[in-house]
Amino acid sequence: MGSASTLDRCTCFSDASWLGSGPNSLLELLSRTSSELSERHSKAEEHGLEQMALFLVDGRNDLMSIGEEGGRAHSELRDLFRAIVQNRLLSKAYRLLPTDSDCAPPSCILRVLQCTRLFLRDQRFVKELVTIDGSVSALGKKYEDYASLLFAESNGEPSTGGREKLCFEILSEIASIFKKLASDRTACPWHLLVDCDAHRTSIALISVQEPSLLASALMTLSSISSRSEESAAIIGQLGCVDRLLIILREYDSAFQHLASALLQSICKVKEIRRKTQNTGGVYITLGLLSRKTPAAALESFLCLFRCLLSERSAVAEALSNGAVPILLAMLMPISTSCMNATDPRICDPAVTCLICSVLSKLAAEDEGALQIRRCGGVYLLGRLLTDTHALRVRKRWENIFQSMFEIQTHAFRALRFVFSAECNRKMFKCIFPADLYESFIDVGNYQHDVEKYRHLAHDWCEMTSELVHNSLSALEDTNLNHGNHHSGSQRIINGYIVTEIIGAGAFGCVHRVFKTRSITSQYAMKELDPGVEKLIFGESPDEITASVGRVAMEVQIFSQLDHPNIVKYYESFKEGGRLYIIMELVEGVTLLDFIKSTSEKNERISEESIWDIFIQIVLALHYIHIVKGVVHRDLSPNNILIEHGTQRIKLADFGLAKAHDGDWSKRRRDEQVMRSAVGTIAYSSPEMIKHEPYGDKVDVWSLGCILYFMLALQPPFEGPNALVIASAVVEGRYASLEPLIRRRSRQMAPRIQSKGDVDCHRGDKIYSTTSAVAVCSKVGYYSAALVGLVGRLLIVEPCKRPSIVEVAAACAPCLMRSVENLQSLNDGLQIKLRCLQESGQLEGMVEHRKREAIRQLRGLTRGSSIYPTRPASPYIEQRVGPNNTGSSLRHIVADDSSKDPPNLVSELGSSRHHRCNFKIASDRVRPIADPFLQVITVLHKLVYIDQLPPDLKKDPRQAVLQQYKRFLFGAGQPAATIKAEAVKLLVGSHEAVLGQDASILHEVVGPQVDRSHELTYEELRSMLEEVSLSRDFYLGMK
């Protein structure tokens, strides 16, 4: 008989009267063992099972409606079910493989499994199956055996033969049974399915091409992994992430939906989430979101994307790949009028809420909040609030009310996260009414709990239509002001178009500008008003003129600074009574905002990040102190910029606010110090506050204050007024950082010894040592070396304070690690450059050889011997070199093509009498290995291993090779790179292999090897040979 689909087509033959006499006769047959049945009885049993299956599949015969628990009808069906399981599924004949002569006929096994599957549609029979000892494990063993039969086929697909087709249908029935068992959370515990290895077999089946098997396997795994984090970890550790990402990338939407649901479940585990990100999960999911997708699949994709964004590195990757514009495009209203029932934002409220949730995840990073504002996200989220309010006023349906309320709650959370970024707060002041704005602020920054925003949605619903309309008008005005930077209403100053204000401080504001002749080049323009900033420029016209000239001269000096960690100054000019300074535009946030944001998220800056920031500042200060002889004098977190994407540090505002003449009166100096209390007096050195002579060590003191701020997330010197702060600075009083010290650390870190250590402090020199302790403790956050560095920088007496050179010497171990990382990055870039150069050289050599061949052929036709009569031109020999590409060669060959004979074949045919015949003894011929053939063989092995059917026993070596094969033949990979990689693999280079996931590699090398171990081509070649031998690669070649 056919499969379940065949039974479904035969429902017309079912008869409800079967329940009267059919169960008793069938139960009598099932009570005997299969070996006791005669051929006639076996056929009768098979016919009875068929009739029962037709009865069960009939939609009119719902098992739940056939008698109550304990009734006669249910009792008969229960007895039949137990007989099928105990006397057939658990019998020896039914457990054997079809290849065994004592195995039951496949048609009987199929019929038994079909009836079992149909019974399990009722939860009562699922509970019954679980209570039968050994039933689930027997099904699991049969699941594995028939999957192995499927994989044993050479092409991994079932053949068209009758017996093989039945075996495939049996496997499909077992897969459907486990799909049902996994979906029943209450009746079937997930550990029963794991104990019988059903999850391993299902993972192997996600590599098959048959739709029903693939769907059943995906749903089974998704149901098991969604039970708990432990079950998700068990499935995720079996290496299914790569295959699931292939399904997401290449299959249709139905299977993409199932694969994303499974990925979402296993990505609850941090290690699996990172592995998914490292293998391209963020990029692939973004690609799915950018397509037109059914609502159900879109909801699944958004859930997966939201889960992946739990990692900060995933957020950075998503932002760099355009996640914000893709998501905001889904929130675009279909018209400028009010929302209606056909609007996609209301048709799928769950999708709309998920989009807002994902935007909240992205806005948790300052760069994401900035991108949302610049892409009009504040306006679109605000439109969600105004449009849903209007729809609720017009339609008072309960379901609409609840959906709109949820959308508003999630929109308020997304807006609050955008507001948390310091640079976005100004635009919110006019959007909401005063009372709502106050409640909006009181929620607090970066609060993920959606319940904290429900009162905002409730207050919004109670607002009058007039107030909502005012908010809409404010949103439109805000969107107009921040949206189009190229409108005609923008100011133009000295050839620069002024757009938005990107910063403001005590000494002027900074605008984003671009040149009228080159709108792609953006700059930062600082605007100073000499008539207002009297402390900088003075009060009298003469003082103002002299100060403006002095500032212009300083800008000219600072424009000569050329360092990757220093903002570039271009020019300054005066127009309309104001002074303007043009500088490099740094897209990012200040270090002050970064620290505040970290503190508001209740997080800590990692030690690695602190070292990275600190070392970059040290490099910049070393450059200006030692190379240029410049003192910054205003070093503070507000003057240090962190560039988005690269995380590069940039120092800004070089002395523009502190470059005063020496003839200033004491009163004006005191006024300057008191005014600095609002901004940077907490970072000023004691000698500056006491008006004593100072040098470049004032920047070292400021550097110590900044380091303290990054560690403690609060400045070292705080107080209610400037006098208290100044007193603490002069005395060097600040709270101890001792509680932050991590007493024991696994990592090597530079350590500056304390006063009690021997020979650590001699004069003004600092000597650093390194230490490593094997045991890691959870006490504290940072190493003693990093915390101890603060005390060595914040020394009140300048003569005892280290210079920037000595500070750099103390950071030598970390500097060396940074250099090593940069060297590794440079090596990778050099490899790519060499591959590109080799590609050009190869093209040039091919063209050169073509031309030489033409010359030789022409020489042969002219009656020469073996070599051409005319040697190659020295001009050509000069043009073909290691640093030349094929472009010049193509030009030469094209120029010389007119000299070639029009028909070389005919000329060769007319000159056959010139050929020279000779013989070589066979024992004198040495076989030569074809290197090109060897490279092809290596690539053949990689393709062969990648196309192998899945193995129930997961081999991590095969996973590494498959991952490398996908990297090697990925989209956009140039042919020269494939050739260079294949040659390295062929010779077994000692270089590190690119494109490998460390977690898979750790499974291969074992836990005894450090996770930082990098796979080499030599190790990869060894894996390739081992797997090729074990999977019969050479046997197939024979």
Query: Which DSSP string do the residues of 3-41 spell out, in sequence order?
Result: -HHHHHHTGGG--TTHHHHHHHHHHHHHTS-GGG--HHH
**Helix/strand/coil (H/E/C) assignment for every residue in 630-691:** CCCCCCCHHHEEEECCCCCEEECCCCCCCCCCCCCCHHHHHHHHHHHCCCCHHHCCHHHHCC
Each residue of 483-502: b (16+ CB within 10 Å) or e? eebeeeeeeebeebbbbeeb
Distance CA 239, CA 226 (A): 17
Same domain, yes or no, for 457 and 509?
no
- For 322, left (φ over 0), alpha (ψ -120 to 50), or beta? left
Angle in degrees, 0-180, between the axes of helices 253-266 and 281-289, rounded to the nearest 10 = 140
Do 537 and 512 share a structural domain?
yes
Tell me the CATH number at 535: 3.30.200.20
DSSP string, 287-342: HHHTS---HHHHHHHHHHHHHHTTSHHHHHHHHHTTHHHHHHHHT--SSSS---TT
Of 360, 355, 383, residue with least CA distance to 289: 355
Residue 119 lies in a domain: no
1001 band by pLDDT with thresholds 50, 70 and 90: low
| pLDDT for position 72 | 63
Q: pTM, whole model, 2 decimals?
A: 0.71
- Mean pLDDT, the chain, rounded, equals 77
Give the relative orientation of helices 281-289 and 295-308 as an angle to the nearest 10 degrees. Answer: 150
Question: How does pLDDT run across 919-952, given as a tens digit for each residue?
Answer: 666 666 666 667 778 888 888 888 888 877 666 5
Whether 332 is in a domain gets the answer no
Residue pair 467/433 in contact by the 8 Å Cβ criterion: yes
- What is the pLDDT at residue 893? 38
Q: Let me know: does 475 contact 431? Beta carbons within 8 Å.
A: yes
Do both 592 and 577 map to the same domain? Answer: no
Q: Are residues 715 and 786 in the same domain?
A: yes
Which of 565, 585, 605 lies at the terminal end of a domain, its last residue?
585
634 catalytically annotated: yes
In a shared domain, residues 598 and 713: yes
CATH number at residue 611: 1.10.510.10
What ranges make up the beta strands (E) of 392-495? 491-493
- Residue at which a domain ends, from 779, 810, 841: 810
CA 223 – CA 261 distance, rounded (Å): 9
**Residue in the block written with tokens 């792609």:** 520
In whole angstroms, what is the distance from residue 868 CA to residue 915 CA?
14
Alpha-carbon dihedral angle through residues 1019, 1023, 1024, 1029, given to the nearest 10 degrees: 140
* H or E, element range at 377: helix 377-394
Which residue is catalytic, options 348, 366, 634, 696? 634
Q: Please write the tens of the pLDDT for every residue from 587-598.
A: 888 999 899 988
pLDDT at 448 over 80: yes
Same domain for 535 and 465: no
Residue for token pair 């020496």: 662
- Do the Cβ atoms of 956 and 1000 come closer than 8 Å? yes
Residue 885 backbone dihedrals phi, psi, to 5 degrees: -95, -175
In a domain, 13, yes or no: no
Residue 406 inside a domain? The answer is yes
Whether residue 444 is found in the same domain as residue 380? yes
Please name the amino acid found at residue 64: M
Answer yes or no: do 577 and 592 share one domain. Answer: no
Please return the burial class of 670, using the count of CB atoms within 10 Å of its CB with bins 0-12, 13-18 and 19+.
exposed
- The answer on 719 and 623 residing in a single domain is yes
Would you state the structure tokens that stand for residue 179, as one six-digit string? 């799909």
- Look at residue 96 and tell me if it is in a domain: no
Write out the two tokens for 622: 């070393």
3-state secondary structure string, 873-922? CHHHHHHCCCCCCCHHHHHHHHHHHHHCCCCHHHHHHCCHHHCCCCCCCH
What is the rounded average pLDDT of the residues 87-115? Answer: 86
pLDDT of 900 reads 46
State yes or no: 526 annotated in a binding site.
yes
**DSSP classification of residue 196:** T
* Spacing of C-alpha 117 from chain mean position: 41
Q: Which domain holds residue 240?
A: 228-321
Q: How confident is the model at residue 758 (pLDDT cuts 50, 70, 90)?
A: very low
Instruction: Quote the pLDDT of residue 760.
Output: 35
Give how far Cα 36 sits from Cα of 39, 41, 643, Å: 10, 9, 81
639 and 737 within one domain: yes
As a whole-number percent, the residues of the chain with pLDDT over 70 amount to: 72
**What order of strands is seen across the sheet that includes strand 649-651?**
588-590, 640-643, 649-651
Overall domain count for the chain: 6
Task: Residue 995: give its domain's CATH number.
Answer: 1.10.287.3700
Q: For the segment 763-798, what is each residue's pLDDT rounded down to a tens digit?
A: 333 333 333 333 344 457 888 889 999 999 999 999
